[in-house]
């Protein structure tokens, strides 16, 4: 969906992206270790995939681990990686049976070989599924993604395959990890934080944002529906003017 589309009521989003935040605080509030928050966060992730399918969302992108999350204590990092690995291992068959295509976005060069193999297998096995696409943003940072795309274009230009003057928005977008996907119309962030934390900087240029205080482990069907309802009430203008204003201008 490009920013060139006509203004109008938001209706129903095709692509929803979620910054799943607040696992640590969820655990802290209960006097539990952060790991327990992440475990419950994984349950919320499973539920979100199911709910998205039932609510007619065709693409669900989930921010599961950022390029900055490597800064966390080594024990937390390895717990998170293990949890995500087990999720793919355990849930792949079920996701495949449900017609879910799995895609992983983010840098791959620094992934451990076993994680890389798992990612590639999940994508390969589910590549022809059409019911819904689950995009897992893992080792993902939007700046890193844009840098990798720029590097590819620079190499193509240096070798004479691409004319620098021919580089436009579409060409750059085609080198991003999300190349063949429409942009998210809705980005949800849980836990009350109101920042983007290096998520989909390019793709969310015209997304609607819904910030909810709900901590990620508590993000249930009702919370998902509430975010969609908030989105449905938005007017998307893409730099244009809303319809009544448009008519006034025409009449003047």
Catalytically active residues are 21, 69
What CA–CA distance (Å, rounded) separates 15 from 223? Answer: 17
Q: How many CB atoms lie within 10 A of CB 153?
A: 18
Query: Residue 60 and residue 53: Cα distance in Å, rounded?
Result: 9
* DSSP-derived secondary structure for 27-65: HHHTT--HHHHHHHHHHHHHHHHHHHHHTT-SEEEEEEE
Pick from 15, 42, 44, 65 the residue near ligand IPE by CB under 6 A: 65
Indicate the residue among 216 and 231 with the shorter CB distance to ligand IPE.
216
C-alpha span between 137 and 134 (Å, rounded): 10
Q: Which of the 8 DSSP states describes residue 197?
A: T
Q: Tell which residue, 146, 132, 61, 143, has the closest CA to residue 94.
A: 132
Report what 23 binds from ligand IPE, Mg ion, none; CB cut-off 5-8 Å by kind. ligand IPE
Residue 217 Cβ vs Mg ion, minimum distance, rounded to whole Å: 12
Q: Does 214 bind ligand IPE (CB under 6 A)?
A: no
Question: Is residue 145 involved in binding Mg ion (CB under 5 A)?
Answer: no
Q: Which of 16, 21, 186, 231 binds Mg ion (CB under 5 A)?
A: 21
**Any bridge partners for residue 137, and if so which?**
63, 105
Q: Which among 87-95, 112-120, 188-196, 239-247 is the span making contact with ligand IPE, rule CB under 6 A?
A: 188-196
Among 13, 16, 17, 21, binds ligand IPE (CB under 6 A): 21
Does 139 engage in binding with ligand IPE (CB under 6 A)? no
- Contact between residue 138 and residue 105 where contact means Cβ atoms under 8 Å apart: yes
Coil, helix or strand for 235? strand
Q: Please, what is the minimum distance in Å from the beta carbon of residue 119 to Mg ion? A: 23
Q: Give, rounded to a whole angstrom, the gap between the first and last alpha carbons of the chain.
A: 32
Among 66, 126, 133, 139, binds ligand IPE (CB under 6 A): 66
Identify the residue among 123, 193, 220, 243 touching ligand IPE (CB under 6 A): 193
20 binds, among ligand IPE, Mg ion, none (CB under 5 to 8 A by kind): ligand IPE
3-state helix, strand, coil in the chain (%, to 5): 50, 15, 35
Q: Least distance from C-beta 32 to ligand IPE, angstroms?
A: 12
Scanning 19-27, 138-146, 154-162, 175-183 for contacts with Mg ion by CB under 5 A, the matching segment is: 19-27
Q: Which residues bind ligand IPE (CB under 6 A)?
A: 19-25, 41, 63-66, 69, 80, 191, 193, 195, 197, 216
Q: Which residues bind Mg ion (CB under 5 A)?
A: 21
């Amino acid at each position: 969906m490009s920013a060139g589309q006509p203004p109008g009521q938001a209706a129903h989003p095709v692509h929803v992206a979620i910054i799943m935040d607040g696992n640590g605080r969820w655990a802290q509030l209960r006097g539990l270790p952060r790991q327990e928050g992440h475990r419950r966060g994984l349950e919320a992730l499973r539920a979100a995939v199911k709910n998205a399918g039932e609510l007619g969302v065709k693409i669900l992108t989930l921010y599961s681990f950022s390029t900055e999350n490597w800064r966390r204590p080594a024990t937390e990092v390895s717990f998170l990686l293990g949890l995500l690995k087990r999720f793919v291992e355990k849930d792949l068959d079920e996701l495949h049976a449900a017609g879910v295509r799995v895609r992983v976005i983010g840098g791959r060069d620094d992934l451990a070989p076993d994680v890389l193999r798992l990612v590639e297998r999940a994508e390969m096995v589910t590549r022809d599924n059409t019911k819904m696409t689950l995009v897992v943003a893992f080792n993902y940072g939007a700046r890193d993604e844009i840098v990798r795309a720029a590097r590819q274009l620079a190499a193509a230009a240096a070798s004479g395959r691409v004319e620098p003057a021919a580089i436009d928005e579409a060409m750059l977008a085609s080198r991003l990890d999300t190349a063949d996907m429409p942009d998210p119309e809705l980005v949800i962030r849980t836990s009350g934080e109101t920042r983007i934390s290096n998520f989909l900087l390019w793709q969310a240029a015209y997304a609607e944002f819904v910030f909810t205080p709900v901590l990620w482990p508590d993000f249930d069907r009702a919370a998902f529906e509430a975010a969609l309802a908030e989105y449905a009430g938005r007017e998307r203008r893409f730099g244009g003017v809303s319809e009544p204003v448009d008519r006034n201008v025409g009449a003047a």
